[in-house]
Amino acid sequence: MIADMTEENEVLTNFLFAYKAASIPFYLIYPGNNEKPAIQLPENFGSADPVLDGLAAAK
């Protein structure tokens, strides 16, 4: 999903609120099966490690 907060968007605001996210960018990894919840990545990361860890957890 790509989202833009240039204009207020109640649906997007509620989605972010559900994940306790304050702003965008906001990153989620959705596991392939529906048995695991979405994995929220940190808003800021300086390396690929959080992404790689999230992908490993999604397996």
- Confidence at 2, pLDDT banded by 50, 70, 90: confident
HEC profile of the chain = CCCCCCCCCHHHHHHHHHCCCCCCCCCEECCCCCCCCCEECCCCCCCCHHHHHHHHHHC
Could you read off the pLDDT of 4-50 as tens digits, one per residue?
A: 788 888 998 999 999 998 778 889 999 988 788 999 998 888 899 99
pTM: 0.74
